[in-house]
């Protein structure tokens, strides 16, 4: 497994760094070179805040190779506050407690490991938004 | 542009063929199709295949198929577009013949999946999605479809059991197709109680991946000659793409690629959805059946599932689908499926569909790659 393949995505995986279209205002994750909405190439780095709500969710029982150890786990589409949808796992929550519309926030967790002593890939997952202390 | 005719079809049963490789399966279907067509050579062989490198370490498949079909020397190329590979190969054949550059071509779709089991199957199928932003999160192709199905149920206020009718129809039709994998009916009870793969998608929402190969011989107006009176014509061949990842689509519940692909096909044929007599759609998952019916204009948004409930998708209904079993009942040999669909339309339009015969003149086939990023549509007309 190539280390560079994961290293070059660190700004996306650890920081949710995307882009904003300077012409139409679209906020995009992941980053692109061409705005899909207006075709502009004038896109600047944009930092997403990592908060959103659950758009849809699933519980995976039959996992692809490399993820069998995590089953059952929760996959989701999260609608970020800034607009776009993002695909990720939900964590720190019971399967039965997940609902569409539930507020969530980004955390950094282990995504997978390549083999027993292999490369461990970290990246974003989402957990139920913690309530602020009174 | 010349017209394009189908003058030969061939198919292997869709099974777990433990004793047969991709090359064996492909060659069997090619030989059957060229024998039926009565041709001895072709200008090219277009091979649709999604995963032979992933499954068997065998890329460069088209030259191998040509070689073992006794046609070394003939131009051959493999076409890959995930679950739409077979349909994309049909389209390449159509382009070649319609352009006038080639007179007779063979189109083959082949997939050998049973050499993989369990997690390796999911790992192979998920290569059709965005690796860096979907697959890395452990979201299988099934999981992505489950996200669509959950949202559909939520937005349109339907029940999971409402989707049962797609699978029941597919299994019922498959029971009369000797080439189909699942030749037994299923019930609503069985559907409701089936084991979950990625909630809310269960085993009985999902088409089984399997082994199989299907082939067509396509030819030009000049070659078909007097046989035009008995040959099925391909009156539309269209393809479209959509954003690769679910999260990059404006409204994930409307398959824009399905819509564009169908609209282009309708325009070529000079018809609308109301003129289609039967529809072989990409029912890899029940939710894809509902969304395909909506995207192609057979139902409005949120109403696709109703066509199943109301029996409109049955052989005698308004728009029969999966008439020989579909992906769910016939089985889904991934990159071969699009060619199977066209083979089955030819059977129907020639009046060779036996107990499943639909009375119709125009049939449509549509294949979807990944979660909807590639969509290829063909419309065929009876002689
Ligand atoms: Zn823009």
pLDDT per position as a tens digit, A52-90:
999 999 999 999 999 999 999 999 999 999 999 999 999
DSSP string, chain A: --HHHHHTTHHHHHH-EEEEETTT--EESS--SS-TTT----EEEEE--SEEEEEEEEEESSPPTT-GGG-SEEEEEEEETTS-EEEEEE-SS-GGG--TT-EEEEEEEEEEESSTTSPEEEEEEEEEPPPPP-
Q: Is residue B130 in a domain?
A: no
Residue of B nearest to A86 (CA): B247
B248 shares a domain with B157: yes
Which pLDDT tens digit goes with each residue over B242-287? 999 999 999 999 999 999 999 999 999 999 999 999 999 999 999 9
* B72: phi then psi, degrees, rounded to nearest 5: -55, 140
| Res A48 pLDDT > 70 | yes
In a domain, B52, yes or no: yes
pLDDT the model gives residue B1? 81
- Shared domain for B162 and B220, answered yes or no, is no
* β-sheet bridge partners, residue B168: none
Residue B20 lies in a domain: yes
From residue B46, give the alpha-carbon distance in Å to each of B21, B89, B160, B215: 18, 6, 39, 10
Note whether B122 and A63 are within 8 A (CB). yes
Residue A130: pLDDT band (50, 70, 90) is confident
Determine the pLDDT at residue A133.
64
> Could you tell me if B174 and B58 lie in one domain?
no
Centroid of ligand 1 to alpha carbon of A28 (angstroms): 9
Position B173 confidence tier, pLDDT thresholds 50, 70, 90: very high
Structure confidence at residue A1 (pLDDT): 66
Angle (nearest 5°) at CA A119 between A113 and A120: 50
Whether B11 and B77 share a structural domain: yes
How many domains does one find in chain B?
Answer: 2
Using omega within 30 degrees of 0 as the cis cutoff, is the peptide bond preceding B8 cis? no
Any CB–CB contact under 8 A between A108 and chain B? no
Residue B140 sits at the chain A interface (C-beta within 8 Å): yes
Structure tokens at B23: 């090359």
Beta-carbon separation of B247 and A87 below 8 A = yes
Element (H, E) at B109: strand B104-111
Residues 109-138 of B with CB under 8 A from A: 118-120, 122-123, 125-126, 132-138
Range of the domain at B23: 4-117+210-232
Residue B75 shares a structural domain with residue B181: no
- Is B128 within the bounds of a domain? no
Q: What is the pLDDT of residues B266-276, one digit of tens each?
A: 999 999 999 99
Domain presence at residue B11: yes
With bands split at pLDDT 50, 70 and 90, how would you rate the model's confidence at A134? low
Please give the pLDDT value at position A118. 87
Q: What confidence score (pLDDT) does residue B100 get? A: 97
Return the SS3 of B369: strand
Which residue of A lies nearest to B249 if distances are taken between CA atoms? A85
Domain ranges of chain A: 3-128
User: What CATH number is attached to the domain comprising B219?
Assistant: 3.40.47.10
pLDDT band at A2 (very low <50, low <70, confident <90, very high): confident
Q: How far is CA A134 from CA A103, A130, A131, in A?
A: 18, 12, 9
Average model confidence (pLDDT) across chain B: 97
- Average pLDDT estimate for A99-128: 95
**Cβ within 8 Å, pair A58-B201:** yes
pLDDT score for B66: 98
Backbone angles phi, psi at A5, to 5 degrees: -60, -35
Percent of chain B with pLDDT over 90: 98
Tell whether B110 and B165 lie within a shared domain: no
Let me know whether B32 and B167 are in one domain.
no
**What is d(CA B376, CA B368) in angstroms, rounded to the nearest whole number?**
7
Cα-trace Rg, chain A: 16
Cβ contact (<8 Å) for B147 and A56?
A: yes
Mean local confidence (pLDDT), B351-356: 98
Contacts of B119 in chain A (CB under 8 A): 62-68
Of A55, A59, A88, which is closest to B151 when you measure between CB atoms?
A: A55
CA distance A34 to chain B (A): 13
Q: Decide if pLDDT at B55 tops 70.
A: yes
- pTM (2 d.p.): 0.98
């Amino acid at each position: 497994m190539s280390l560079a393949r994961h290293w070059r995505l660190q700004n996306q995986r650890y920081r949710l760094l995307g882009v904003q279209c300077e012409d139409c205002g679209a906020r995009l994750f992941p980053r692109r070179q061409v705005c899909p909405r207006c075709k502009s190439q004038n896109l600047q780095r944009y930092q997403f805040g990592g908060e959103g709500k659950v758009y849809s969710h699933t519980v995976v029982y039959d996992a692809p190779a490399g993820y069998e150890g995590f089953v059952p786990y929760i996959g989701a589409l999260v609608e970020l506050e800034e607009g776009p949808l993002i695909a990720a796992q939900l964590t720190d929550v019971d399967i039965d407690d997940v609902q569409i519309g539930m507020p969530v926030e980004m955390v950094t967790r282990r995504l997978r490991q390549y083999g027993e002593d292999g490369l461990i890939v970290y990246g974003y997952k989402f957990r139920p938004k913690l309530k602020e202390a009174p | 542009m010349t017209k394009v005719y189908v003058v030969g079809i061939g198919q292997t049963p869709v099974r777990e063929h433990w004793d047969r490789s991709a090359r064996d399966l492909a060659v069997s279907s090619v030989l059957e199709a060229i024998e039926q067509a009565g041709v001895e050579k072709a200008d090219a062989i277009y091979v649709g295949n999604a995963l032979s490198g992933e499954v068997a370490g065998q890329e460069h498949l088209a030259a191998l198929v040509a070689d073992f079909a006794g046609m070394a020397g003939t131009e051959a190329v493999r076409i890959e577009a995930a679950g739409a590979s077979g349909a994309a190969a049909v389209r390449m054949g159509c382009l070649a013949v319609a352009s006038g550059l080639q007179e007779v071509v063979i189109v083959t779709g082949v997939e050998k999946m049973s050499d993989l089991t369990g997690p390796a199957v999911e790992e192979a199928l998920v290569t059709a999605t965005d690796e860096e932003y979907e697959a890395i999160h452990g979201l299988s192709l099934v999981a992505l479809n489950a996200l669509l199905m959950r949202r559909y149920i939520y937005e349109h206020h339907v029940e999971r059991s409402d989707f049962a009718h797609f699978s029941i129809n597919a299994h019922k039709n498959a029971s009369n197709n000797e080439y189909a994998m699942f030749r037994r009916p299923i019930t609503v009870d069985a559907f409701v109680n089936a084991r979950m793969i990625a909630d809310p998608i269960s085993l009985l929402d999902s088409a089984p991946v399997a082994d199989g190969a299907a082939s067509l011989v396509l030819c030009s107006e000049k070659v078909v000659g007097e046989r035009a009176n008995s040959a099925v014509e391909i009156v539309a061949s269209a393809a479209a793409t959509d954003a690769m990842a679910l999260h990059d689509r404006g409204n994930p519940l409307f398959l824009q690629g399905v819509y564009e692909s169908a609209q282009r096909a309708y325009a070529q044929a000079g018809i609308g959805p109301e003129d289609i007599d039967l529809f072989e759609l990409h029912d890899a998952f029940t939710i894809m059946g509902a969304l395909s019916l909506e995207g192609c204009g057979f139902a409005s948004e949120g109403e696709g599932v109703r066509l199943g409930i109301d029996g409109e998708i049955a052989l005698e209904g308004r728009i029969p689908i999966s008439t020989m079993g579909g992906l769910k009942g016939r089985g889904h040999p991934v990159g071969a499926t699009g060619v199977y669909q066209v083979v089955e339309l030819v059977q129907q339009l020639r009046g060779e569909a036996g107990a499943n015969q639909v009375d119709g003149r125009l049939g449509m086939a549509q294949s979807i790659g990944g979660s909807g990023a590639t969509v290829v549509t063909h419309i065929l007309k009876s002689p």
